[in-house]
Structure 1
Amino acid sequence: MRKRQIIIDCDPGLDDAVALLIAFAASDRLDLIGITTVAGNVPGKLTYLNARIIRELAGGGRDVPVCAGAPVPLMRDPVTAEDFHGSTGLGGIDFPKPEIRGSRTHAVNFLIRTLRATKGFPATLIVTGPMTNVALALTMAPDIARGVKEIVVMGGADREGGNITPHAEFNVFADPHAAQIVFQSGIDMRVLNLDVTHQIRMSDDQVERVRALGSKQALAAADLLAASNKLEEKAKARHAPLHDPSTLLSLLRPDLFEGRKATVTVVTEPGERFGKTVPTFTEDGHVLWYDKADADSVFSEMLGQLGRYGE
């Protein structure tokens, strides 16, 4: 069976980094054909650097290009999240500098060129940061939609409320105009929003189970997860949700998640609801809005994937 082709558009970020490690570990099922980065959790120069750090740690090498993308949102002032990811985006963990350079191709140009080439075998876009790159690509080249099988997004919230404002989740809040373009594209989407990711939290014991796998990649994942917990506990007195890794895990094990079909709009008008996602549940919706997860099984799947590094 042919592997599913994926492109990860991300803003590493502690949990983005764990998601990347899972993607490389699952190479028997997923063909990671590119990583594009965007400003979000930290400024664009750092997200680009961090993606290259994790690619090298995972053993991805030059075969998986890393392309830097939009340094600012479409219309709003930039917003970052160093409070939750540390000043470097990777929790201050001392990773070696990458030796392998990134691509000189801009992320948006990479998306357009690559998705035009995948029309016969559409690729899956996994988006774990603000949707600026994807919105720009769809606006510049609407025909690339035919090269997209689906878009799997970490973003948004409904019943849980927001994590950056009372109404808005960070990735959407960071560029709500881009999110509106992507949600309104009509492309099939799965949305790992706060309604579901807040159900999946890493205990300290689970972090140590990841660490016990022993490979350098698993040790790095444990450090990243522990840093997430430390920063989340400092800010909100609770363990960190498994936000971005859930995108990969829902792709590998969709049976562990439940959701409802919907259409989604984003509040782009200034005010207290700015950046809020508004799902309207309807059987013919093109968006699968996840709202339930088997948290223990999701963790077991992540543990199994990260355990592949030791094989």
Structure 2
Amino acid sequence: MCGAILPWRDTGERISKNKGTDQIMTARPLIIDCDPGVDDAVMLMMALASPALDVRAITTVAGNVPLHLTSRNARMMCQIIDRTDVPVFAGCPRPILRAPVTAEDFHGESGIAGLDPFEPDTPLARPHAVTQLIDMLQAAAPGEYTVVVTGPLTNIAAALVMAPDIARGIAQLVIMGGADTAGGNITPHAEFNLFADPHAGAVVFDSGVPAAVLNLDVTHTVRAEPERVAAIRALPGERPAIMAKLLDAANTLEARWKGGQMTPMHDPSTIAYMLAPDLFAGYAARVSVVTEPGDRFGKTQVSAQADGPHTWVTSADADAFFALVESLVAS
């Protein structure tokens, strides 16, 4: 159902196509684990457009929509923005323990509202995403990779359980997930990614791997207000037009379910944080996840600790955030 699968080999050579001409670049090695998803699509556009980021692999997980759609959608985005050089690996089709939960109401039946779905030319890469994560991270130099996670943490948790030594290859996880003062977006207490697989979240946060957590406390303060989308739409070229379509569709869906509010920049916040951490504020903490059944199921619990392994991000400069988005899609 996910389409054909081909083996993939990392040649070690990094090529950027962001400026219209191929050029070898030194950039920050990055793995993206995602569940596209409209806001994942925006995030992928930002990451793949940035010459400062060397996206070595995209792994997909069930989340916003089922796995066969998240895997197709990731490849769609790579094709749409001419980055089929980045391999896409399909991962876990369901959470570790709980019943699957998806979010078509917010992302459209295809998962990427605003774009017409199609079957990409480039097939899925082989092997399974969890196996690929283990292989890449075991072969990595200490702290070589940053891993951005914008869906349920199922793939990352499975990799850490199967091969705890992969933590050595991770400089930092940059996770979109969780909520504290803002409350949840799928229950009064829980954010979707952690609610979709709280047991995976518990494994990842308990692992001690350093993580920056871009949560609803911060993403709800950075919204795609109409004037901000209009500024992107006014830029010349195909990429700004695609970005504006995605944000318009997300705004329509968000307004329908959230009393007219515009869409928060949930997943894109991870890439903005990587490229411009000075736009954000937060504090050192230790994060845990409620896995016991009840009304707080999937809630993140945040304890400020000076030596904690996690950074709980709390605020962002929204205007500078969108200026960064504009600069990426205009490049």
Q: TM-score range by the shorter chain?
A: over 0.9
**Structure 1 position 120, deviation (Å):** 4.2
Paired residue type of 2:178? G
Note the residue ranges of structure 2 that are not aligned, 5 or more in a row: 1-24
1:19 aligns with 2:33: no
- SS of 1:191's partner is strand
**Structure 1 position 265, deviation (Å):** 0.7
- SS of 1:72's partner is coil
For 1:222-261, list aligned pairs within 5 A: 222-237=244-259, 238-261=261-284
Q: Distance in 2 between matches of 1:78 and 1:285?
A: 31
Q: Distance in 1 between matches of 2:277 and 2:114?
A: 33
Q: How big is each residue's C-alpha offset from its partner over 1:208-251, in whole Å with a ceiling of 9 and x where there is no partner? A: 21122232222111111111100000001210100000000000
Paired residue type of 1:12? P
Q: Distance in 2 between matches of 1:212 and 1:118?
A: 42
Q: Which residue matches 1:50?
A: 73
1:300 aligns with 2:311: no
- SS of 1:285's partner is coil
**Structure 1 position 97, deviation (Å):** 3.1
Q: Distance in 2 between matches of 1:104 and 1:172?
A: 27
Query: Would you say the 8 A contact 2:114–2:245 is kept in 1?
Result: no
Q: Distance in 1 between matches of 2:40 and 2:198?
A: 20
What is the root-mean-square deviation of aligned Cα atoms in Å? 1.1
**Structure 1 position 65, deviation (Å):** 0.8
Q: Which residue matches 1:165?
A: 187
1:90 pairs with one of 95, 112, 121: 112
1:182 pairs with one of 204, 210, 214: 204
Aligned residue-pair number: 306
1:99 aligns with 2:138: no
Q: Distance in 2 between matches of 1:240 and 1:120?
A: 37
- SS of 1:258's partner is strand
Q: Distance in 2 between matches of 1:245 and 1:151?
A: 15
Q: How big is each residue's C-alpha offset from its partner over 1:251-306, in whole Å with a ceiling of 9 and x where there is no partner? A: 00000000010001100000000000001001001100000111111111111111
1:219 aligns with 2:241: yes
Q: How big is each residue's C-alpha offset from its partner over 1:23-67, in whole Å with a ceiling of 9 and x where there is no partner? A: 1110x2110000000000000000000000001112111x21100
Note the residue ranges of structure 1 that are not aligned, 5 or more in a row: none
Would the alpha carbon gap of residues 159 and 224 (structure 1) be closer, same or farther in structure 2, given more than 3 Å must change? same
Paired residue type of 2:61? V
Q: What is the TM-score with the length of structure 2 in the denominator?
A: 0.91
Would the alpha carbon gap of residues 121 and 288 (structure 1) be closer, same or farther in structure 2, given more than 3 Å must change? closer
- SS of 2:245's partner is helix
**Structure 1 position 92, deviation (Å):** 5.2
Q: Which residue matches 2:19?
A: none
Q: Distance in 2 between matches of 1:104 and 1:187?
A: 26
Query: Would you say the 8 A contact 2:46–2:328 is kept in 1?
Result: yes
1:129 aligns with 2:115: no
Q: Which residue matches 2:31?
A: 7
Q: What is the TM-score with the length of structure 1 in the denominator?
A: 0.96
Point out 4+ residue stretches in structure 1 off by more than 6 angstroms: none
1:272 pairs with one of 279, 295, 313: 295
Q: Distance in 1 between matches of 2:231 and 2:278?
A: 23
Paired residue type of 2:91? G
2:138 pairs with one of 111, 116, 121: 116
- SS of 1:103's partner is strand
**Structure 1 position 2, deviation (Å):** 3.9
